[in-house]
Structure 1
Amino acid sequence: MARQKIDGNFTTQYALLRDYCKELVRANRGTSVEIEVEKEFNPSSLTRQFKRVYICLAPLREGFKACGRDLLGLDGCFMKGPFPGQILTAVGVDSNNCIYPVAYALVEAKTTSWTWFLEYLRRDLDLYANSNFTFISDRQKCIIPALKKTYPSAEHRFCLRHIHENMKSTWRGHVFKDLLWKCATATTIPQFEKAMTEVRVQDQALHDWLRDIHPKHWSKAYFSGRSTSDVLLNNLCEVFNKQLVGGRDKPIITCLEFIREYLMKRIVLVRKSISKCDGPLTPKATTLFEGIKKDTLLYKVIWNGMNKYQVSGPSQDQCVVDVDKKTCSCGMWELIAMPCKHAVTVNYNMAQNGMDVDIPEAWISKVYLLDTWKKVYDHNIDPINGVQMWTPS
């Protein structure tokens, strides 16, 4: 009885769901809310049986668009109350390489709702069937066909941790794990093939098993640079889902409010962090780039007299940098939209020889800029009134 007083009644909250959604849209104009009920019902009945609800808060949608990183992690977690169900989530990456939730839905437990969820997400993000977007998931069987149907041109990455978990049923130990990661982190096709050769030498069966999973789903060598991110793990959704544990055993409206309140508070906390920052890049981007700069000390440069440079260093590492196209044959510059150690070495060489060149930070994509980070979190989620002030449907 005490919990019901605090959290609300599981059954009666379904009758209030439409009123809650109306209040949500009133407080945050532009918010997208979709409720679906079961199609089979008694025509004479005044009630409908709830099936699923989708929510994309307008402030989160606009913040995601302001960042410009076309990457979303997809995942689901189960409800723990008396009524079975799942929370589906779509989580992006902000300018500081942290999570940025975009949309969520509460659907049936044995869900076939991913196509439904992705179609509404496509509408809210102004995407098309042929959009070159990037998704990462845990290789769930229901997500793969849903993505193929909704986004046939999308890049779909498989979480490497999930691949490793499947692999451990037969191939255990650090040797096999290290070989898998060596293949996944290779940034060029020759590096990937060399790593796969090492796998074959170690275990032919593992090599054949990995070949059955197309490397475009799990190796950096085959990733496009569209998403300006080289993530291999679906930590985005896992981090977000961990924050939702406290709401998964609550009635439906209390659960949805738990999610919204967390998102509202998170924006405030990130803004506080932003106010303490100073510099052209976000804190994590700065740390990453400082590490890249340190790696340039042992490299030397040869210029071809035009726009290309040969950069060589330890362990026979030799690559070609094209400063006009902003590419490097190592693949990292195109993959994360941040100059690699070869490109930074070229930048330093150009400056030392009196050429007209800006600082290395000027070659970094705007998604990592502190100003972009501010724009992402410049959209606040407004609070809503309680049930006593909702307009009844």
Structure 2
Amino acid sequence: MKLRACTASLICKKIIDQVETDPNIPLGSIQDHFQKTYHVGISMEKVFRAKDMARKHVIGDYTKQFELLRDYALELQATNLDTTIKIDVCPNGNPASPTRFQGMSRGLVGLDGAFMKGPFPGQVLTTAGLDSNNGIYPLAYAIVESENTASWKWFLENLGDDLELGINLNYTFISDRRKGLQIAVDQLFPNVEHIYCIRHIHDNMRKKWGQTEYKDHLWRCASATTIPEFEHLMKEFSEYDKEACQRLKQIPLVHWARSHFSGRAVYDVLISNICEVFNGKIEKGRDNPVISCLEFIREYLIKRICNVMKAMKKAKGPLTLTSTDILNARKKGASQYIAKWNGANKYQVTGALQDQHVVDVRNQTYTCRKQELMGIPCRHAIATLNDMSKDPEVELDIYKWVHKVYWLET
């Protein structure tokens, strides 16, 4: 085939399939392809224009897709039952559109934001929870003009309407203290427990205290589950570097120290990677026009939900796969603990290095707080159950001690 006039439009027609298969195909590869296939030399500027034309043809024009947003919203509502779509137009004409996915039961909500790419600035705000298998469960996403208090407030108001979150909300939010987020949370949900990602706290401290020892002290303090243990570790940190410890104390303990968490949500995470993982999966979609971006996210979520359902079908027993693995690991560790009955409803449980705690059988409370925070029997509880099982009159079922959120039927 011979090309008499190799225009950008003609090049575009020849490379549409290539661009659709690989949107990131290098310009040099296209240039070499035409040289070898058609024996035509074309400038890099013309290749750039042709690829841009092909890309717009494949994923749609950026400006035109904003004009089609309302039609897209109607189509989504018609084909995705119980999905909420809201479009709010600001005075400067920047639209925003969230899509909500149902399903959350652990009381933990992660919040995060990521930059849009392409010619129009913007942010993708996301929120995700944890499912019963300790996997992320995306709940909602929105494209907004910028990340600020007004955008977060609008996003959280819509989320609150969908999930029926009142002003007395008892959920737990976790974030890396995004711009404008704290003010929005305080105004809309004053009773919420807001956890700050410990990794981002470390990143802020690393500018002055970058040694590994600082990170180790910070993580040990944050991971402690009881107040006495926390105070002991903070004392060690202060003896190592008093200034760094004082800097850490400026952040309210309820926002980062596990020992001061309320336990209202069933989780033990200290980092906000549930949303960061989600944002990583949709990164390729963020350089597309608005509808193409939203479709990229929606299709990813469909695939994810189907994969989770397939994984759950492999589970054997009453619990999800991950919770079963955690419980089995704790069963093995419990063999190193000794439980002593006090003659009533409590057991004193002692392990290695004088790890001693009390288990209240009647109220199912544990002074280590590990089960209270995560909802899966700790080694102290399992050691207690092992001792109780020696009594032939006592009928025990360890699964009854596992929070219902981990049950497959839930």
Q: CA deviation at 1:110?
A: 4.4
Look up the equivalent residue of 1:28 and give its one-letter code. Answer: N
- In the alignment, is residue 25 of structure 1 matched against residue 112 of structure 2? no
Would the aligned equivalents of 2:127 and 2:275 in 1 still touch at CA under 8 Å? yes
Of the three residues 134, 140, 143, the one matched with 1:103 is 140
Equivalent residue number for residue 162 of structure 2? 124
Look up the equivalent residue of 1:105 and give its one-letter code. Answer: A
Tell me the C-alpha RMSD between the 2 structures.
Answer: 1.2
Look up the equivalent residue of 2:91 and give its one-letter code. Answer: K
How do 1:180-195 residues align onto structure 2 when only pairs under 5 Å count?
180-195=218-233
Q: CA deviation at 1:353?
A: 2.1
Q: CA deviation at 1:189?
A: 0.5
State the Cα deviation string for residues 285-332 of structure 1 (Å, max 9, x = none): 111111211111121112122211111121111111011111100111
Would the aligned equivalents of 1:347 and 1:357 in 2 still touch at CA under 8 Å? no
Of the three residues 244, 265, 279, the one matched with 1:241 is 279
Q: Percent identity?
A: 48
State the Cα deviation string for residues 229-253 of structure 1 (Å, max 9, x = none): 0110101011000011110000000
Would the aligned equivalents of 1:75 and 1:89 in 2 still touch at CA under 8 Å? yes
Which sections of structure 2, spanning at least 5 residues, go unmatched? 1-52
Of the three residues 66, 70, 75, the one matched with 1:14 is 66
Q: CA deviation at 1:156?
A: 0.4
- In the alignment, is residue 87 of structure 1 matched against residue 139 of structure 2? no
Which sections of structure 1, spanning at least 5 residues, go unmatched? 41-48, 373-393
How do 1:163-242 residues align onto structure 2 when only pairs under 5 Å count?
163-242=201-280
Q: CA deviation at 1:334?
A: 0.9
**Using the alignment, how far apart are the partners of 2:403 and 2:259 within structure 1?**
20
**Using the alignment, how far apart are the partners of 2:130 and 2:192 within structure 1?**
17
Of the three residues 23, 33, 38, the one matched with 2:90 is 38
How do 1:298-337 residues align onto structure 2 when only pairs under 5 Å count?
298-337=336-375
User: Comparing 219-228 with 187-196, which one deviates more in the overlay?
Assistant: 219-228
**Using the alignment, how far apart are the partners of 2:376 and 2:181 within structure 1?**
31
Look up the equivalent residue of 2:297 and give its one-letter code. Answer: I
**Using the alignment, how far apart are the partners of 1:109 and 1:269 within structure 2?**
33
Q: Which runs of 4+ in 1 moved over 4 A?
A: none
Q: 1:242 to 1:331 in 2, by over 3 A?
A: same
Q: 2:287 is paired with a residue of what secondary structure?
A: coil
Would the aligned equivalents of 2:170 and 2:191 in 1 still touch at CA under 8 Å? yes
State the Cα deviation string for residues 103-153 of structure 1 (Å, max 9, x = none): 000001343300111111111101111111100000224111111111100
Q: Under a length normalisation based on structure 1, what TM-score does the superposition of the two structures give?
A: 0.89
Equivalent residue number for residue 113 of structure 2? 76
Q: Under a length normalisation based on structure 2, what TM-score does the superposition of the two structures give?
A: 0.85
Would the aligned equivalents of 1:333 and 1:340 in 2 still touch at CA under 8 Å? yes
**Using the alignment, how far apart are the partners of 1:355 and 1:267 within structure 2?**
44
Larger radius of gyration: 2
Q: 1:276 is paired with a residue of what secondary structure?
A: coil
User: Comparing 16-25 with 214-223, which one deviates more in the overlay?
Assistant: 214-223
**Using the alignment, how far apart are the partners of 1:50 and 1:208 within structure 2?**
43
State the Cα deviation string for residues 163-205 of structure 1 (Å, max 9, x = none): 0101100111211111001101100001111010011000010
Q: CA deviation at 1:362?
A: 2.0
Q: CA deviation at 1:29?
A: 2.4
**Using the alignment, how far apart are the partners of 1:368 and 1:190 within structure 2?**
29
Q: CA deviation at 1:355?
A: 4.1
Q: 1:105 to 1:318 in 2, by over 3 A?
A: same
**Using the alignment, how far apart are the partners of 1:245 and 1:154 within structure 2?**
30
Of the three residues 82, 88, 95, the one matched with 1:51 is 95
Would the aligned equivalents of 2:282 and 2:297 in 1 still touch at CA under 8 Å? yes
**Using the alignment, how far apart are the partners of 2:207 and 2:395 within structure 1?**
53
Would the aligned equivalents of 2:148 and 2:179 in 1 still touch at CA under 8 Å? no
Which structure ranks higher in relative contact order (CA pairs < 8 Å, sequence separation ≥ 6)? 1
**Using the alignment, how far apart are the partners of 1:90 and 1:371 within structure 2?**
25
